[in-house]
Structure 1
Amino acid sequence: MPKPLVDVDTVEAAAFCLSDELSPFTSAWHAHRKHQLLYSAQGALHLEVEQAQWLLPPQRAAWLRSGTRHRVRVSQPVSLRTVYLEPRLVRLPPEGECRVFIIEPLAREMLLYSTRWGPERPPREPLADSFFGTLAQLLSEWASESRAWRLPRARTPELERAMAFTLKHLGEPISFEDAARAARLSGRTLSRRFEEEAQTTWRRFLHDARMLRAMELLAEEGARVTQTAYAVGFESLAAFTHAFHAFTGECPRDFRQRVARGSEPRAGAAPATRRTRAR
């Protein structure tokens, strides 16, 4: 990642948008004194906080409370749009350090339009102040509809190796034993690490990672459901459709068509209850 031309924490304006075109990189862990609204207009952004990690394709955005330590990873070109807001502007901030939510058409248009006012904007500009004030108020409403589409993070190098191996081979018929060898742990120890550090199992981690990757692939232009199913390790289209519907509340084809239209999920669409410790 190129060195920033400006230190965002020293910008005098209460709110502004930082627009950047990113090449593959991994940032250092860091935090900001302002609230952040992270959005990728093109390409998928990988976001990590202390306890969790998310994939942010253009259909999702993330709210980060001020002071939240985080890092981002980019594996493909990304058009990043980040809105920074002084905490005083958000009267009812969403709960928690990070909330990930579906981008509605209005939210998307406002985030893209906010690039009009970058970090060099005057500290006091009535139109910009009014715009960002409205955005800050809507943020609480948008983020209240957050979804649990996330993966846990590792706290030890061994579990991190197992997770990284799993994420790298989502489209292959990998086994728990493969992940244990990558972690350089016994199967029993790796199983315990997943339970204690991530509050889940390796099989559930693999399943959820495949679903998140499928959502990313289906959001790409020209995506095909059958190819996506094979790309995330399913040999049966029926099994993939069932798993995807249970995870997102939508069939893969409906999800792909909705994303292409830029519309919201159909009324009542919600993921099925997830079994945290399912094997």
Structure 2
Amino acid sequence: MRAHHVDVDRVTAPAFALADELTPGAGAWHAHRRHQLLFAAEGALRLELEEGVWLLPPRRAALIRARVAHRVDVDHAASLRTIYWAPRFAPAPRAPCVVLAVDALTREMILHAMRWRPREAARDASGRRFLRVLIEIAQRRAADPLPMHLPPPRSDELRRALSIVHARLGDPLRAADVARSAGMSERTMARRMEVELSLSFRDYLHAARMLRAMERLAVPGTRVAEVATELGFATPSAFTHAFARFAGETPRDYSARSSATAVHTAGSPTRRKTGYA
């Protein structure tokens, strides 16, 4: 489809929808005066905020509060469907960012909402009512958020330690070795992780591995056994057990759901972009 440029903060409609086809790359840091409901129709995205990084897996949604600076990072082509609304139109999300599960009905509502482009939404009262109901449903589902968040380190020492963790997720990492490589004692690193992240080294490492697994499995054709090996699991069954406990579904089911073909709404405005802004 042909690309469209829309300045979302200059649109007169109180709520409207846009579709984006994202190519690999990191988007620029930006903030909008509108709240957002983002739906990953295809592919996985990373949402980076000052408060940390959230993974947005395929067929899941995220809420981002207005005026919160963020950027979107994608490793592979992805499809994004977004609802924007002015603060006066509907309540704000309760947190700067949250990722939520999306059932079949809500997914179809999001895809259906793509017909209310900025121009159409400005003159269609029924569309505004539909978007308000959709936003309310998403807000309710956000009360039970998915564990897709890695909090950010604040100190340089812990930042160095976590960069080592992310570079070696498939290795049998020991806290003492990571701390030494980052120039601090294991006790100091443990204390910094508790104060800055509210997580232990083990819990952070496990969450980072699971989120990396979800990104990898969102790529069509990726095999579960291959990801298990990459992330240092002794067997695919051990990986399957750990993934199911974290994500609430098996890696095979997650991969199959992620690879399902999304519905593209005819006539919706589509912007082709590197990253997202």
In the superposition, the TM-score normalised over structure 2's length comes to 0.79
Write the distance in 2 (CA, Å) between the matches of 1:100 and 1:52: 13
Deviations 1:97-154 (A, max 9, x none): 2221112122222222333233344622234323312222222222223223321112
Is the 1:102–1:146 Cα contact (8 Å) retained in structure 2? yes
Write the distance in 1 (CA, Å) between the matches of 2:258 and 2:76: 20
The change in CA–CA distance for 1:107 and 1:169 in structure 2 (over 3 A counts) is farther
Write the distance in 1 (CA, Å) between the matches of 2:217 and 2:197: 27
Aligned residues, how many? 259
The change in CA–CA distance for 1:152 and 1:258 in structure 2 (over 3 A counts) is same
SS for the counterpart of 2:122 is: coil
Q: Which residue does the alignment assign to 2:194?
A: 195
Q: Which residue does the alignment assign to 1:77?
A: 77
Is the 1:89–1:136 Cα contact (8 Å) retained in structure 2? no
CA RMSD of aligned residues (A): 2.9
Structure 2: segments with no counterpart, 5+ residues: 262-277
Moved more, 204-213 or 217-226: 217-226
Moved more, 234-243 or 179-188: 179-188
Is the 1:19–1:118 Cα contact (8 Å) retained in structure 2? no
SS for the counterpart of 1:171 is: coil
The change in CA–CA distance for 1:165 and 1:5 in structure 2 (over 3 A counts) is farther
Moved more, 39-48 or 247-256: 247-256
The change in CA–CA distance for 1:254 and 1:24 in structure 2 (over 3 A counts) is closer
Structure 1: segments with no counterpart, 5+ residues: 263-279
Q: Which residue does the alignment assign to 2:246?
A: 247
Deviations 1:23-64 (A, max 9, x none): 333344432221101122222111133333211121321111
Is the 1:19–1:79 Cα contact (8 Å) retained in structure 2? yes
**What residue identity is the alignment partner of 1:163?**
L
SS for the counterpart of 1:170 is: coil
Write the distance in 2 (CA, Å) between the matches of 1:23 and 1:90: 31
Answering whether residue 244 of structure 2 is matched by residue 214 of structure 1, we say no
Q: Which residue does the alignment assign to 1:100?
A: 99
Deviations 1:59-94 (A, max 9, x none): 321111223332322222222222101223325x55
Q: Which residue does the alignment assign to 1:38?
A: 38
Is the 2:58–2:258 Cα contact (8 Å) retained in structure 1? no
Write the distance in 1 (CA, Å) between the matches of 2:206 and 2:172: 12
Write the distance in 2 (CA, Å) between the matches of 1:254 and 1:45: 19
1:255 Cα deviation from its structure 2 partner: 4.2
Q: Name the % identity.
A: 46
SS for the counterpart of 1:89 is: coil
Is the 2:165–2:205 Cα contact (8 Å) retained in structure 1? yes
Is the 1:49–1:71 Cα contact (8 Å) retained in structure 2? yes
SS for the counterpart of 1:88 is: coil
Q: Which residue does the alignment assign to 1:276?
A: none
